Structure formats: structure tokens, C-alpha cells
Amino acid sequence: MSKSILLVEDNDKLRRYIKLTLDKEGYDVYEASTGAQAEATINEQMIDVVVLDIHLPDTTGIKLLEKWKTVHSQTQYILCTAYGDVEDAVQAMKIGAFDYLTKPIKADELKVVIERTFEWAQLNQENKQLKDAVKKKYHMHGMIGESKKMQQVFEFIQRISIQDITVLLQGESGTGKSRCAHAIHLESPRRNQPFIPINCAAIPDHLLESELFGYQKGAFTGATQTQKGKFEAADGGTLFLDEIAEISLELQAKLLQVTQEKTFIPLGSTKPKHVDVRIIAATNRDLAEMVQQGEFREDLYYRLNIIGIELPPLRERQEDIPLLITQTLEQLNEEHNRQYTVPKAVLAALSSYPWPGNIRELYNALARAAVLSPDEELRLSDFPEEIKHFAQENQHDATDTLRANPIDDRLPLPKQLQSFEKHAIEGAIQSAEGNQAQAAEQLGISRQSLLYKIRKYKIDIDKLIET
């Protein structure tokens, strides 16, 4: 693949010398003696590197750099300056020039700088591709996660989205069920059709029926005109029924008909309507238990739960918390036009907190801290009391563990940390009387992480319980 260079220099003799040098190295060299000629060339050709003189007959290299750096951001720029123009060179570097050369230009120095520029551009491109690949792996339409559980959710979404079947999303409040439903829609062949969400818990039951199925003019007092329902609005696309567990048994029967026959009758009408709608439902309650208690129709449950996805709570995917914090801060930065940062100690405290309100609680806590922070650094004191209290308790527990299990400070730091971690795990297992799930929750890590560390440190659980 050829490498292209735009040489912008008004000194004809110097320009020919530089071109000859670069031609011998196998580069495709374009020439310009004025800013206007350079402007025309860079807009017409794919230019990798610009060698740009500071002083030109009709403009300056600084002005061109300021303009091109935004428009042609993938191009790299090398400024050529006279000996007395060091300040111009510094300004150019601040704007975004890769390097600068001082006249008189030496052939060997020119070749080294050009070669280094192309190497850096190649590395930069590879890093961008790697970041894009990582982002694609860990991001899905606003959802984010590198944990094993979230990677399984992403994989499941991709597998089921192309199949036109009903999906039931389950998980605690704030785990991202709404965003997951939207991701399924965006991954499906219906992506260009409507995505209509409705919160079943937010609408009184006597109004929910008309919201879902619509009504004819005169169907009830106040129905002054015919109104389409959500099912008809979502025709060809996806209808997301959030908080599905909150609808009445009577309305569940009517919903069953739509899921089975794809038809419904608007209020005040006798004519059935046919719709092509994919249904995604979500709940934070145990529908199977509600079926056993007679609170939810068994036939509707099985119609909705053809495919089920369980969204994990945040305490079971703590390795995702730094990613979620970064994502939230980017949003807050844009909203507030600021650049918020979280110190490492605060990030560690936030990552160990169990977040009973899950992602929603995390977002609200960060939004509160951003408002209360006197500057752009979010301190622990800016967060809600329960988070500060948890961090203080954890610090006390860690201190108590260290006192009860003194560590040889002559050991290298990694060995000291491993020793402390082993003591903490053993203490949690003893406290939980061998119950690994409780021990993991007490430590603020996943059960899988605990099992890994038990094997890593060769901890004998039976022996610990006996003692």
C-alpha cells in the first residue's frame, strides 16, 4: 500500500530537494507552493502526511494546521520552521502537529522523522481498531459489561434477536431490562420499525387496556375521538411491556389472545384487528411463584417465557462497575460541560459497594456527587451516606483483619497483599460457616471469584469450619 505525502513549500529549490529525497524512499509525493494549492490537493487526494512550511505567500502553516486538524484528523502534520521560529513550532505541537523540522533540512533527519510519523500513524490506527474491537465486545447499544455474566447476556441477545419470538426479561430493579429490550430490538430484523415501550405499573389498570388496545370514539365517557393503542402503534416492530407482573388477571386474558392469535379488539369496537408485533416483557418479580399463588396466568406465563434472560444484579458483576462509572461520567461530562474524575481510592470503594439499587442507584449516586462536588474531582464525601458508611466499615474490617493476622512486612508487597487477601477469605468463610454464597456476598465478590481464590490459595474449607 502506497504512502502519500503532501509537500507544502514555496521555495522551489528546497521543495525539489525534499521531493527527490522522498521519491527515492518510495513515497507518493504531491507538491504545493501556496496554501490555496495545498488546500485543493488535500481535499482531492488521500494524504497520509503533510510536510508544511510555516511561512507561505498567501497564508501560514499554523492557520492551515488549525483548519486541517479538525477536517483531516487522520492526517499527520510535520511543520518546517526557520531557526528563529521556535515559538511557532511549539504552537504547532500544541495544535496537534506530530513533529517539526528546523531549516536547513537535512535528508537523513527528514527520512527519520517521516518514517517515525508513519510508524506512529500505523500504531495509532492499530490501537483504534483494538479499542473499537474491545468496545464492540463490551458494549451493546448502551449496555456495557466485560464480566462473564454480561458477556453471556450479550451472546444470548445476538442469538435470539434474529428469531421472531417472545422474550421475558427478569432481574432486580435497576439492572437494565429496558435497555436490554431495546438492544434486542436493534439487533433484530425489526430494527427499522417502531420500538414502543409501556410501563404497565405506571398506568391504572382501567386505563391500561385502552392504552394497549386503543378505543373507538364514544367507547366511554371522554372518548371524543378514535385512538390507536400501543399494539397498533408497534405494528411491524416491537412492543416492550415493562413491569408485566402488575397487570390484572382480566387484562392478562386479553393479552394472552394477542400473543396467541396476533389479534385484538379495540374498546367500543366489534371488529378484530391483526398486528405483526414482537413482544418483549420484563419484570422484577418471580412470575413462576406468582403462577403458583394464582396471581399470574400460567398459560400467559408460558407464552411470554418462550425465551428468558436473567439480568444479573450489579453485586454479581462488580468487575463491570469501573466501566459503568466511566460511561456515566462521559454522560455527565457532556450534560454539565465538565471533566469529572474519580480518584483510585474512591473507585475502589464504589467497586466494592453492593449497590442494592443496581445501575440506577449507581447513576443517581454519581449524578449527586457531580452536583455536590466543588470541582471536577468526585470525593467519597460527595456520595450518599450509605456508601460512605459502607466504605468506612470496610476500612475498619480490613484494619481488624490485619491486626488479628499480622503480615510479615519483610515480604514483597504482592506477597503481603496475597496474604491479607487469603486471611480475609478464610475469615469470611468461617463467619458464613462454610456457605460460599454468603462468604462471597460478605466479601463483595462473585461466587465464581471466590471459588477461584479458594483454589488459588489452596484453602481447606472443611478444616476452617472445624476450627
pLDDT tens-place string over residues 383-442: 999 998 888 776 655 445 445 555 555 555 556 667 777 878 887 887 777 888 778 777
Query: Can you count the helices (H) and strands (E) in the chain?
Result: 20, 14
Above 70 in pLDDT, residue 190?
A: yes
CA-to-CA distance for 269 and 226, rounded, in angstroms?
Answer: 10
**Nine cell digits for residue 334:** 457532556
Please answer whether residues 55 and 78 qualify as being in contact, where contact means their C-beta atoms are separated by less than 8 angstroms. no
Q: Torsion over CA of 451, 457, 461 and 462, rounded to 10 degrees?
A: 140
CA-to-CA distance for 283 and 268, rounded, in angstroms?
Answer: 30
pLDDT over 90 percentage in the chain: 50
pLDDT given at position 437: 79
CA-to-CA distance for 354 and 42, rounded, in angstroms?
Answer: 54
Above 50 in pLDDT, residue 44?
A: yes
pLDDT in tens, 2-28: 789 999 999 999 999 999 999 998 999
Q: Which CATH class is domain 318-466?
A: mainly alpha
Closest CA to 51 of 72, 80, 26: 80
Please answer whether residues 211 and 251 qualify as being in contact, where contact means their C-beta atoms are separated by less than 8 angstroms. no
Please answer whether residues 314 and 356 qualify as being in contact, where contact means their C-beta atoms are separated by less than 8 angstroms. no
Q: How many residues does the chain have?
A: 467
Above 60 in pLDDT, residue 101?
A: yes
**Residue 261, CB half-sphere, CA atoms under 13 Å: how many?**
11
Q: Where in the chain is the domain with CATH 3.40.50.2300?
A: 4-132
Please answer whether residues 278 and 239 qualify as being in contact, where contact means their C-beta atoms are separated by less than 8 angstroms. yes
Above 90 in pLDDT, residue 285?
A: yes
Q: Where in the chain is the domain with CATH 1.10.8.60?
A: 318-466
Query: What CATH code is assigned to 143-312?
Result: 3.40.50.300
Mean predicted confidence (pLDDT) in 272-293: 94
Q: Which of 20-34, 97-111, 179-193, 273-287 has the lowest mean pLDDT?
A: 97-111
pLDDT given at position 133: 55
pLDDT given at position 231: 95
Query: What CATH code is assigned to 4-132?
Result: 3.40.50.2300
CA-to-CA distance for 429 and 450, rounded, in angstroms?
Answer: 10
Band of residue 212 on the pLDDT scale cut at 50, 70, 90: very high
Q: What is the pTM of this model?
A: 0.60
Above 90 in pLDDT, residue 169?
A: yes
Please return the burial class of 107, using the count of CB atoms within 10 Å of its CB with bins 0-12, 13-18 and 19+.
middle
Please answer whether residues 96 and 50 qualify as being in contact, where contact means their C-beta atoms are separated by less than 8 angstroms. no
Would you report the helix, strand and coil content of the chain in percent, each value rounded to 5?
A: 55, 15, 30
**Nine cell digits for residue 320:** 463491570
CA-to-CA distance for 232 and 236, rounded, in angstroms?
Answer: 9
pLDDT in tens, 133-167: 555 667 888 899 989 999 999 999 999 999 889 99
Tell me the pLDDT of the chain averaged across its residues.
86
Band of residue 454 on the pLDDT scale cut at 50, 70, 90: confident
Above 80 in pLDDT, residue 50?
A: yes
Q: Where in the chain is the domain with CATH 3.40.50.300?
A: 143-312
Phi-psi sector, 106: left (phi>0), alpha (psi -120 to 50), beta? beta
